Amino acid sequence: MKIITRFAPSPTGYLHIGGARTALYSWLFSRSNKGLFILRIEDTDINRSNTKSVKSIIEGLKWLKIDWDIGPIFQTNNLYKYKKIINKMLNDGSAYKCYCSKNRLNLLRKYQIKNNIKPRYDKFCINFIKKNLNKKKYVIRFLNPKNGYVIFNDKVRGLIKVNNKELDDFIICRKNGIPTYNFSSVIDDLDMNITHIIRGEEHINNTPKQINIFKSLNSKIPKYAHVSTILGNDRKKLSKRYFSNNINEYKHNGYIPEAFINYILKLGWSYKNKEIFTISEMKKYFNFKNFIKSSSIFDIKKLNWINQYYINNMSIKKIKLNVLPYIKKNKLIINKKPKIEIIIKLFSKRCKNLIEMVDFFKYIYNKNILFNYKIIKKILNFKNIYKILIIIYNKFNKIKFWTYKNINNIIFEIKKEFNLNMYNIYMPLRIIITGKKISPNINNIIYIIKKNKTLYRINKLINILLNFN
């Protein structure tokens, strides 16, 4: 049997963490079994679906390198297909038209709640065929079996048994003629020969209804895996309070896609005590046995840790590939010296993410660095700083061969001459050259950015200090 899985998002918002994880599991399962993976856009809720969401979902999947073999298939392009099946069901009596008004349904619901009856449709429209209804709008309901049970073996949650008495004659087609999720999803799963449905736990109540549709169409029922919910630190549903739920924000905020995938993989699945997985290891080890039943907590600190781990352990070439979009965004020109590879090597062990990395090294490529009032004040606090800078400027200016050793010697001479400790010589220099209080070895940075830029920055600061008071 060929394994066929799908990711079937409703395009009513961006790709969120839970969605990305579902997509990842479905993708991994098909990839690890040499199966097919389909991307299906479930856009039959036309009032809430929009192309912006479709774009955002696709952008997120592409960033994570979750690729699909077929799709994206839009359900609204196949409305005729659903209609055909619905008509057949109307004819054979497994579905029926319901003309009830909202008002009637509201009253019914209120009555049922008041009398401790589980709210559900009362099949009014099966029994009462009214005349002159042709022009009136109707929904179409599925005639759910009255007796028996729906039983399925969920790959995460185990055996699930639901009494048909608990289920409603739910709506499969709206008044506007467009099918609802529970119907179109089943028809497509059937049509596409989906063998395994992996989705969020929030869908588990839909599954018995969907199985009953499969049964009424005499079709084979796919296997199900309803994966656990992802919660925030506060053990509540993921909200924007502490971090974003939008995948593309992680893309734009300097995360490595492989690190992100590694992190979300583990939010609902585990393999021994293994923390770090390459994509091929994921494909190799992924199975249905190791899903975690309990809900998991999205911990941004852990994600940051994994991201940093990936940056620290990646080849310079790979980091370069990942960091280029951020370099572009910062409009850094890196085709001149120093070579970006050297800079990445120097900085990559120091940062949590790629934005931070670019922010750490952009002073190397930019001509100017901006000094604010606070920074200048800080520099002024260093004793004799004005005098020192002038001497450094002149000595640097006289250097013929811009070598690390020559730079080092000059700084050492000045340190001695003014009887300075390390902090009092390196800190002001660091701030002037980098605009920051933290950097790699400052002598090395001075060596790397070369004479012109070094002199330019020192000179600029001398002028600022001169005009400061």
**How many residues of this chain interact with ligand GLU, rule: CB under 6 A?**
8
- Rounded Cα distance between 246 and 15, Å, is 6
Which strand (E) or helix (H) includes residue 324?
Answer: helix 316-329
Minimal distance, residue 9 CB to ligand GLU, in Å: 5
If one counts every other C-beta atom within 10 angstroms of the C-beta of residue 419, the result is 9
If one counts every other C-beta atom within 10 angstroms of the C-beta of residue 91, the result is 9
Minimal distance, residue 283 CB to ligand GLU, in Å: 21
Report the residue from 4, 9, 266, 379 that binds ligand GLU according to the rule CB under 6 A. Answer: 9
**Which residues in 164-193 contact ligand GLU (CB under 6 A)?**
181, 185
Minimal distance, residue 96 CB to Zn ion, in Å: 9
Of 119 and 148, the one with the shorter C-beta distance to Zn ion is 119
Query: What does 8 interact with, of ligand GLU, Zn ion, none (CB < 5 to 8 A by kind)?
Result: ligand GLU
Q: Which stretch binds ligand GLU (CB under 6 A): 8-16, 172-180, 268-276, 344-352?
A: 8-16
Which string of DSSP letters, residue by residue, matches 210-256? HHHHHHHTT-PPPEEEEEPPEE-TTSSB--TTTS--BHHHHHHTT--
CA angle 246, 272, 282 (to 5 degrees): 50
Q: Does 254 bind ligand GLU (CB under 6 A)?
A: no
Q: Does 172 bind Zn ion (CB under 5 A)?
A: no
- Rounded Cα distance between 469 and 465, Å, is 8
Q: Which of 173, 118, 163, 119 is nearest to 141 (CA)?
A: 173
The amino acid present at 105, given as its one-letter code, is: L
Of 105 and 462, the one with the shorter C-beta distance to Zn ion is 105
Tokens of 73: 């298939």
Is residue 209 within 8 Å of residue 166, measured between CB atoms?
Answer: no
Q: Does 18 bind ligand GLU (CB under 6 A)?
A: no
Q: Does 125 bind Zn ion (CB under 5 A)?
A: yes
Q: Does 171 bind Zn ion (CB under 5 A)?
A: no
Minimal distance, residue 125 CB to Zn ion, in Å: 3
Report the residue from 98, 192, 425, 431 that binds Zn ion according to the rule CB under 5 A. Answer: 98
Cα-Cα-Cα-Cα dihedral sign, residues 410, 416, 418, 419: positive
Q: Which of 1, 5, 2 is nearest to 224 (CA)?
A: 5
Tokens of 40: 């299906």
Minimal distance, residue 271 CB to ligand GLU, in Å: 24
> What is the DSSP secondary structure assignment for residue 161, as one 8-state letter?
E
| x/- track of binding to ligand GLU for residues 33-52 (CB under 6 A) | ---------x----------
> What is the DSSP secondary structure assignment for residue 65, as one 8-state letter?
T
Q: Does 10 bind ligand GLU (CB under 6 A)?
A: yes
Q: Does 162 bind Zn ion (CB under 5 A)?
A: no
Query: What does 100 interact with, of Zn ion, ligand GLU, none (CB < 5 to 8 A by kind)?
Result: Zn ion
Query: What does 258 interact with, of ligand GLU, Zn ion, none (CB < 5 to 8 A by kind)?
Result: none
Query: What does 125 interact with, of Zn ion, ligand GLU, none (CB < 5 to 8 A by kind)?
Result: Zn ion
Q: At what angle do helices 354-365 and 340-347 cross, to 10 degrees?
A: 130
Q: Does 173 bind Zn ion (CB under 5 A)?
A: no
The amino acid present at 305, given as its one-letter code, is: W
Minimal distance, residue 26 CB to ligand GLU, in Å: 9
Q: Is 244 left (phi over 0), alpha (psi -120 to 50) or beta?
A: beta
Q: Which stretch binds Zn ion (CB under 5 A): 96-104, 255-263, 392-400, 401-409?
A: 96-104
Report the residue from 100, 126, 279, 316 that binds Zn ion according to the rule CB under 5 A. Answer: 100
Measured distance between the N- and C-terminal CA atoms of the chain, rounded to whole angstroms: 81
- Rounded Cα distance between 284 and 196, Å, is 18
Which string of DSSP letters, residue by residue, matches 329-357? HTT---SSSSPHHHHHHHHGGG-SSHHHH
Of 184 and 353, the one with the shorter C-beta distance to ligand GLU is 184
Minimal distance, residue 7 CB to ligand GLU, in Å: 7
- Rounded Cα distance between 350 and 266, Å, is 25
Tokens of 418: 């003014």
Minimal distance, residue 141 CB to ligand GLU, in Å: 20
Query: What does 42 interact with, of ligand GLU, Zn ion, none (CB < 5 to 8 A by kind)?
Result: ligand GLU
Of 124 and 242, the one with the shorter C-beta distance to Zn ion is 124
Of 16 and 457, the one with the shorter C-beta distance to ligand GLU is 16
User: Interface residues with ligand GLU (CB under 6 A)?
Assistant: 8-10, 42, 181, 185, 199, 203
User: Interface residues with Zn ion (CB under 5 A)?
Assistant: 98, 100, 124-125
